[in-house]
Amino acid sequence: MDYTDIYFIGIGGIGMSAIARYYNFKGYRVSGYDRTPSDLTRALEEEGISVHYEDNTGLIPGDSATTLVIYTPAIPSDMKELVYVREHGYRVIKRSAMLGEISRGQRCLAVAGTHGKTTTSTLLAHILTSCGEGCTAFLGGISKNYGTNLLMSHTPTIVAEADEFDRSFLQLHPEIAVITSMDADHLDIYSDLDHVREAFREFASQTTGTVITRLGLDITSSDTKARVMRYSYDDARADFYAGNIRCDDCGYFTFDLNWPDGVIHDCRCGVPGWVNVENSIAAAAIALTYGIRPDDIRNAIATFSGVKRRFDIHLNTPDCSYIDDYAHHPKELESAVSSIREMFPGRKLTAVFQPHLYTRTRDFADGFASALSAVDRLILLDIYPAREEPIPGVTSEIIFDRVTCPDKVMIPKTGLMTLLEKEPVDILVTFGAGDIDRFTGPITAMLEKRLAQK
């Protein structure tokens, strides 16, 4: 590229920050705007990337001929900086299109799905990295093994989390792809489930080698020229599935991985919960198809530490446990609650949930209520709006009124710590994709202090 400066509008997003780190590593001058400081923007600044937090056109690099501007569609179209660069001759490109350009000419391994893709793609990147094969990985979360959402390698292989939001994943043409799920989501973009599934079929059609879908998803050989294979948690009709599954007292699973060429015995997940068995099978399916040795896959599954905010265990004692999870869709909540119940049978589960987006709350209020009714105590926060303006009549109350769990309370997030300080806690989980993660440090410190005083 004939640019010296790469400027990001919305640099603090998880996908944007990975590309910012990529170009910083490549030696470009990287800078950008974000609405508020965060742990991620602070990390970028520590890495030498200039970040500002005011919508100020004077802080954009001045030479449009040598500056490439990358933006996220989460930014409002009337934002002053975005309007300015469009009107003053800069090349302006969406994050998804930039990722498509980076991946062109390389072996692309992509993980798509309305849920499960972040953990699966991060585990796949760990498999390739830990065995010495290497990859450049753009991840949708912070890997706990590596402390970053970007891995770099000279190997011409890219691992990409293929995001369906705004049809971003249609910028990719992977050699091997996994599709973990095709549930209704982002209905402000797709309008209904049929259009969601249509987009995933188009993604499958752009895959050149092998598409591996979770058993039961409606992707067939008529949708793509690629070979179609299936994976499953434990269904022997699939090409890749677990057998001889066993769980220890701490919720860690060991299983045998069945695949077309044999069995990989005694795979032990390095992160607890049954859902991570399924994620491991999906990641292993790509790795085996790519050509990674079975022993290397077994070792990587065992040493995988997970992803921050994905079933992220901050405290785990017989008296008190605390988990933080990014779940923001009813299916994700169901899977997480089911995994917690299996790990900690008989214990009282308190869930704090921050709904994400007015449209998602409106479209899935019944699903959220059903999933949250399975906890023992619910603390429901206000909706985190992200990129959206309020919708009349859409508040957290439309979930709250439908929840059947009798022990429930709805509060603003400003009152969360005060409430929790007065509460007995057995198992606590915080759910949401908004800014609820700002509470993980204070909650962990409070609970550890409480345990120390016993």
Q: What is the pLDDT of residues 106-130, one digit of tens each?
A: 999 999 998 889 999 999 999 999 9
| Mutual angle of helices 294-303 and 117-130, in 10-degree steps | 120
Give 273-320 pLDDT, tens digit per residue: 888 999 999 999 999 999 999 999 999 999 999 999 888 999 998 889
Question: Is the pLDDT assigned to residue 253 strictly greater than 80?
Answer: yes
pLDDT of residue 401: 96
Average pLDDT of the residues of the chain: 94
> What are the start and end residues of each CATH 3.40.50.720 domain in the chain?
5-94
Estimate to the nearest angstrom the gap between the alpha carbon of 227 and the chain centroid. 26
pLDDT of residue 60: 97
> What are the start and end residues of each CATH 3.40.1190.10 domain in the chain?
104-303
pLDDT of residue 56: 97
Question: Is the pLDDT assigned to residue 147 strictly greater than 90?
Answer: yes
Question: Is the pLDDT assigned to residue 236 strictly greater than 90?
Answer: yes
pLDDT of residue 95: 94
Question: Is the pLDDT assigned to residue 82 strictly greater than 80?
Answer: yes
Give the mean model confidence (pLDDT) for residues 327-333: 91
| Side-chain-facing half-sphere of 38: CA atoms under 13 Å | 18
Distance, CA of 158 to CA of 107 (rounded, Å): 6
181: region left, alpha or beta (phi > 0 left; psi from -120 to 50 alpha): beta
pLDDT of residue 249: 78
The DSSP call for residue 315 is E
Query: CATH for 104-303, among 3.40.1190.10, 3.40.50.300, 3.40.462.20, 3.90.1300.10?
Result: 3.40.1190.10
343 pLDDT band, cuts 50/70/90, is confident
CA distances from 218 to 196, 330, 402 (A): 12, 20, 31
Give the mean model confidence (pLDDT) for residues 417-441: 94
Top CATH class, 312-452? alpha beta
Give 359-417 pLDDT, tens digit per residue: 999 999 999 999 999 999 999 999 999 878 999 999 999 999 999 999 999 999 999 99
Secondary structure, 3-state, 253-293: EEEEEEECCEEEEEEECCCCCCHHHHHHHHHHHHHHHHCCC
Question: Is the pLDDT assigned to residue 239 strictly greater than 80?
Answer: yes
**Residues 145/126, Cβ–Cβ less than 8 Å:** yes
Distance, CA of 124 to CA of 137 (rounded, Å): 9
Give 157-216 pLDDT, tens digit per residue: 999 999 887 788 999 999 999 999 998 676 677 778 888 899 999 999 999 999 999 999
CA angle 265, 271, 277 (to 5 degrees): 50
454 pLDDT band, cuts 50/70/90, is confident
Distance, CA of 31 to CA of 85 (rounded, Å): 14
DSSP-derived pairing of the beta strands 29-33 and 5-9: parallel
pLDDT of residue 187: 65
Percent above pLDDT 70 for the chain: 99
pLDDT of residue 183: 81
Q: What predicted TM-score, i.e. pTM, was given to this entire model?
A: 0.86
18 pLDDT band, cuts 50/70/90, is very high
- DSSP conformation letters of 15-36: HHHHHHHHHHHTT-EEEEE-SS
In what side-by-side order are the strands of the sheet with 262-268?
Answer: 148-151, 136-143, 157-162, 107-112, 176-179, 210-214, 227-232, 240-247, 253-259, 262-268
Kindly indicate whether the domain formed by 5-94 is annotated with CATH number 1.10.3720.10: no
